[in-house]
Amino acid sequence: SLPVEALARYSDLHPKLSYEKFHYGTAGFRMAGSLLDSVMFRVGVLAAIRSKRLEGKTIGVMVTASHNPPVDNGVKLVDPRGEMLEASWERHATVLANTTSTDEFIDAVDKLVKTYKINLDHPANVLYARDTRPSGVELVAALEDGLKAMGANGRNEGVQTTPILHYLVRCVNTKGTPEAYGEDTVEGYIKSTADAFKKLIAGKPAPPPLVVDCANGVGYVALKQFAEYLGPAITFIPMNNDLENAAALNSDAGADYVKTNQKFPPSIAPVLAPGQRACSLDGDADRLIYYYLNSRKQFRLLDGDKIAALVAGFITDLVKGAGLEGQIDVGLVQTAYANGASTKYLEKRLPVACVPTGVKHLHRAALRYGVGVYFEANGHGTVVFSPATYEVLASYQPSTPTQATYLEYLNLLPKLINQTIGDALSDMLLVEAVLAHKHYTALEWDSIYIDLPNRLLKVVVPNRNIFQTEDAERRLVHPEGMQKLIDDHVKKFESGRAFVRPSGTENVVRVYAEASDQGQADQIALKIAGIIY
Ligand code: 16G
Ligand code: ZN
């Protein structure tokens, strides 16, 4: 039965203070770190319950607010395969977080246990980590109280990137099985990723030094470890790597800054030579954006769509070269934010699916392919390999030396790539490896296709919940009649495309528009903002 006495005692230490309404959304719980104490405690309890429900499998908990300001914090649960929490449990998280008293909380926990007929005799195992935010220290302590209250085994991994936490969870749960994913240590992760990179670029010229904007966050911790293992294989020039000053996190730095403002972080511009590549991680290192300075001294963005095009193209070439066409199907998953030019380019080469925003949707869709590549335009993405693909790669007999070489490359990719979730650092090594193989400069990579000019606006509306979408968020079904007004306007422009969707993370509605020139994209976006306001 439930340890009611311990739950009550610990719960009283973490009362829900504010009238804040908590909601477990696409980013888990996320808000000012000072408001999250009760939420963290309850997430600890929920993680333990979920672990028991899955007969003691290890559940992950990541304490981070990613690219948001340093005073924010947040928390997300990770399922045993290192993937996002099963969608149906998001609701349970929301319910538990919003109970207003200890008694109400314990009742809600009890109800959850009964609904799923959870055998509480199973052990509970929870692996957790946090990013560099100072508020994380106390929030982790609150989480630990939740684990103690449930008698769960906790494993504290300290300060780590989000994708490392996801990776470790998968390793722990697959240990000793045929699906063993790797050694469940940070060192194991760094080593196996770095080794795969070194093997993949063996014999290729070492890439020119890469400027890495660490957003003054935890990505720098991982980057340093990679640099140690990689030695001369690649040189990083770390920037925005101040972990002492908490206020510096994501401030004028990081992938979100670059993608949103479409410009260099101020600290990066002066150090870049024309043509030199740079990339930005976000605050928990699960997003990656590249860019460079062109010969006309202009900023050029290489976002998630460009990464997707580069990576999907490379993998398609390898599959063909190995003689595996027809045995391994490579597919790509995008969202409505993908630049229309990227979709047009890619659709000619491989199957492309469009799904609603949010990693869980992209990840699920990518699992339908033999090799599923997914990237959001904002730089979050990865590649997943199906069990059938693993089998083909293990058993295939190449008939020429060239095929054998391509097969070898293909076999390294699942080791290089963190398949659990987008991982800025392993994605960065993947990009560097592909550039080395293709002998591409930043300019050549950029030239794969030319982005359509676009504009993203956010509109503050009284109630964003009235905005409902269909067709992977590309069309509004509610408020009634609004989509028709949008369509009538957009069709006046050549290559015009636009859509409106409520944000899942902020109290705003987002408007995206693209067209054949910037002035038109701006005009469409502004007009639509007027329509929806
Ligand atoms: C969250 C999502 C990200 C998405 C973003 C959209 C996860 C892990 N993260 O950060 O994938 O792009 O939300 O934010 O799913 P929005 O709904 O505010 O536009
Ligand atoms: Zn992030």
Same domain? For 312 and 272 the reply is: no
Residue 111 belongs to domain with CATH number: 3.40.120.10
Q: Retrieve residue 427's tokens.
A: 């994605």
Residue 440 is assigned to a structural domain of this protein: no
Q: Are strands 475-478 and 468-470 parallel, antiparallel or unpaired?
A: antiparallel
Q: What is the residue range of 372's domain?
A: 304-419
> pTM here?
0.97
Q: Are strands 371-375 and 330-334 parallel, antiparallel or unpaired?
A: parallel
Query: What per-residue confidence (pLDDT) applies to 369?
Result: 98
**Whether 208 contacts 277, CB under 8 Å:** yes
Phi, psi angles (nearest 5°) of residue 168: -60, -40
Task: Give the closest ligand to the alpha carbon of residue 375.
Answer: 1
Indicate which atom in ligand 1 lies nearest the CA of residue 504.
17
Residue 178 is assigned to a structural domain of this protein: no
Residue 525 is assigned to a structural domain of this protein: yes
Same domain? For 295 and 340 the reply is: no
DSSP state of 28: B
Judge whether 284 is annotated as a binding position: yes
Same domain? For 141 and 16 the reply is: yes
For residue 360, the CA-to-ligand 1 centroid distance in Å is 10
The last residue of a domain, from among 271, 287, 302: 302
Query: What per-residue confidence (pLDDT) applies to 18?
Result: 79
Q: Tell me the CA distances in angstroms from 380 to 288, 304, 323, 421, 530, one per residue in order.
A: 7, 7, 30, 8, 30
Query: What per-residue confidence (pLDDT) applies to 206?
Result: 87
For tokens 């003691």, what's the residue?
56
For residue 213, the CA-to-ligand 2 centroid distance in Å is 14
- H helices present in 116-156, as ranges: 136-149
Same domain? For 290 and 311 the reply is: no
Query: What per-residue confidence (pLDDT) applies to 17?
Result: 87
The last residue of a domain, from among 302, 331, 359: 302
Residue 180 is assigned to a structural domain of this protein: no
Q: How many domains does the chain have?
A: 4
Indicate which atom in ligand 1 lies nearest the CA of residue 76.
8
Q: What is the pLDDT of residues 205-246, one digit of tens each?
A: 888 999 999 999 999 999 999 999 999 999 999 999 999 999
Residue 171 is assigned to a structural domain of this protein: no
Query: What per-residue confidence (pLDDT) applies to 162?
Result: 98
Kindly report the length of the chain. Answer: 533
Same domain? For 212 and 318 the reply is: no
User: What is the rounded distance in angstroms from the CA atom of residue 290 to the CA atom of residue 301?
Assistant: 6
Residue 343 is assigned to a structural domain of this protein: yes
Ligand 1 pocket test, pick from 286, 505, 508 with the greatest ligand atom count within 8 Å of Cβ, gives: 505
Same domain? For 57 and 136 the reply is: yes
Same domain? For 293 and 371 the reply is: no
For residue 98, the CA-to-ligand 2 centroid distance in Å is 25
The last residue of a domain, from among 302, 327, 360: 302
Same domain? For 214 and 309 the reply is: no
Same domain? For 133 and 248 the reply is: no
Same domain? For 40 and 131 the reply is: yes
Residue 327 belongs to domain with CATH number: 3.40.120
User: What is the SS3 assignment for 263?
Assistant: coil
Which residues of the chain fall below pLDDT 50? none
Same domain? For 17 and 148 the reply is: yes
Indicate which atom in ligand 1 lies nearest the CA of residue 378.
12
Q: Retrieve residue 99's tokens.
A: 């109970």
Residue 526 belongs to domain with CATH number: 3.30.310.50
Same domain? For 144 and 16 the reply is: yes
Query: What per-residue confidence (pLDDT) applies to 227?
Result: 98
Residue 443 is assigned to a structural domain of this protein: no
Residue 174 is assigned to a structural domain of this protein: no
User: What is the rounded distance in angstroms from the CA atom of residue 141 to the CA atom of residue 380?
Assistant: 29
